């Protein structure tokens, strides 16, 4: 991943304290092991790390001062001083709040009520992490492209394919020409037809799904505006994306595979895209929505004999 691409994930303003933990969870998989140690330390003990100098944190994590500074910058802070301020703010928030009553670790013998509570907590955390880490500048650029697109192609496989279908049908209901593709061959043959003024969206949690990357590359090469919705901002898919929307990277467990958590975060991003596009195209979107509601109304009413 180039420095230019890395910088695209860092907004001009440093992340709010509440976004720090989410950003660590999202970016940690793409960091070097030494940077991961720094990131894990600041997320795990913000109060303790806020009291340390850059030298102290480097010694605590067994790294170097340069590694600490690079980690701070990757997390979105101009320097270590700004990161310390965010850590102090995060520590204050944690001290004033309540500790979660449950964790997401589900045991085979957990009662149903515990499973429900744990899943609900984990879903809430996934949504909060995604919202905190979502770059609104990138989101706004993607919305602008979608609102004026001649045609929109959306690529996704497996669980991401279900999210692609959800976005496609939403955009169709506000009058946009949008198609979701889960067949990789059909996706590529459609991508060949795209050009400037069209938009292609790839949805892949891992950022390395070849069947999704290939049509996005073809669309990119043909001049379409490209968007990647991914949990790995360093993944191969991003090299063909004009705009990158990062989803939360939740912790997997035996009874909760990655596809479950990734779907939750992807659906939030999809809803943000749809709602913001609807706002931007309201004069045409509102009548289109009304027409679709009217066309389907009889299917939701009791039949009369």
Query: Which pLDDT value is given to residue 101?
Result: 43
Query: Which pLDDT value is given to residue 10?
Result: 41
Q: Give me the CATH code for the 115-296 domain, please.
A: 3.40.50.10490
Query: Which pLDDT value is given to residue 83?
Result: 87
Q: What is the pTM of this model?
A: 0.70
Query: Which pLDDT value is given to residue 304?
Result: 55
Query: Which pLDDT value is given to residue 14?
Result: 58
Q: Cα(213)–Cα(204) distance, rounded to whole angstroms?
A: 9
Please name the CATH architecture into which domain 15-94 falls: Orthogonal Bundle (1.10)
Beta bridge partner(s), residue 253: 256
Query: Which pLDDT value is given to residue 15?
Result: 59
Domain-by-domain residue ranges, the chain? 15-94, 115-296
Query: Which pLDDT value is given to residue 253?
Result: 57
Query: Which pLDDT value is given to residue 111?
Result: 87
Residues of the chain short of pLDDT 50, as ranges, are 1-12, 98-103
Give the DSSP letter string of the chain: --HHHHHTTS-SSPPPHHHHHHHHHHHGGGS-HHHHHHHHHHHH-HHHHHTS-HHHHHHHHT--HHHHHHHHHHTT-SSHHHHHHHHHHHHHHHHHSPPPS--S---TT--HHHHHHHHHHHHHHHHHHHHHH--HHHHHHHHHHHHT-S-EEEEE-THHHHHHHHHHHHHHHTT--EEEE-SHHHHHHHHTT--TT-EEEEEESSS--HHHHHHHHHHHHTT-EEEEEES-TTSGGGGG-SEEEEPP-PPPBTTB-HHHHHHHHHHHHHHHHHHHHHHHTHHHHHHHHHHHHHHHGGGGS----
Query: Which pLDDT value is given to residue 100?
Result: 43
Q: How far is CA 276 from the centre of its chain?
A: 16
Phi-psi region of 199 (alpha: psi -120 to 50; beta: other; left: phi over 0): beta
């Amino acid at each position: 991943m180039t420095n230019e691409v890395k910088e695209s994930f860092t907004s001009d303003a440093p992340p709010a304290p509440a976004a720090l933990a989410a950003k660590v969870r999202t970016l940690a998989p793409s960091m070097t092991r030494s940077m991961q140690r720094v990131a894990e330390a600041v997320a795990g003990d913000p109060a303790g790390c806020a009291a340390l100098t850059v030298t102290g944190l480097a010694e605590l994590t067994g790294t170097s001062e340069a590694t600490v500074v690079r980690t701070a910058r990757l997390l979105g802070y101009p320097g270590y001083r700004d990161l310390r301020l965010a850590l102090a703010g995060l520590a204050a928030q944690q001290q004033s709040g309540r500790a979660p009553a449950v964790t997401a670790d589900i045991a085979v013998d957990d009662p149903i009520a515990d499973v429900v509570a744990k899943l609900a907590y984990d879903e809430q955390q996934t949504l909060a992490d995604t919202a905190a880490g979502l770059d609104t500048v990138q989101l706004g650029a993607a919305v602008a492209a979608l609102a004026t697109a001649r045609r929109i192609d959306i690529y996704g496989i497996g669980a991401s394919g279900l999210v692609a279908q959800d976005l496609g049908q939403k955009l169709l209901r506000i009058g946009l020409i949008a198609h979701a593709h889960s067949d990789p061959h059909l996706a590529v043959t459609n991508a060949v037809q795209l050009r400037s003024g069209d938009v292609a969206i790839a949805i892949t949690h891992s950022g390395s799904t070849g069947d999704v990357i290939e049509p996005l590359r073809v669309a990119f090469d043909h001049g379409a505006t490209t968007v990647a919705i991914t949990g790995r901002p360093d993944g191969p898919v991003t090299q063909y994306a004009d705009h990158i929307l990062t989803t939360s990277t939740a912790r997997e467990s035996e009874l909760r595979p990655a596809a479950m958590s990734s779907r939750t975060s992807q659906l939030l991003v999809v809803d943000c895209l749809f709602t913001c596009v609807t706002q931007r195209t309201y004069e045409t979107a509102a009548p289109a929505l009304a027409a679709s509601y009217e066309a389907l109304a009889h299917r939701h009413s009791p039949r009369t004999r």
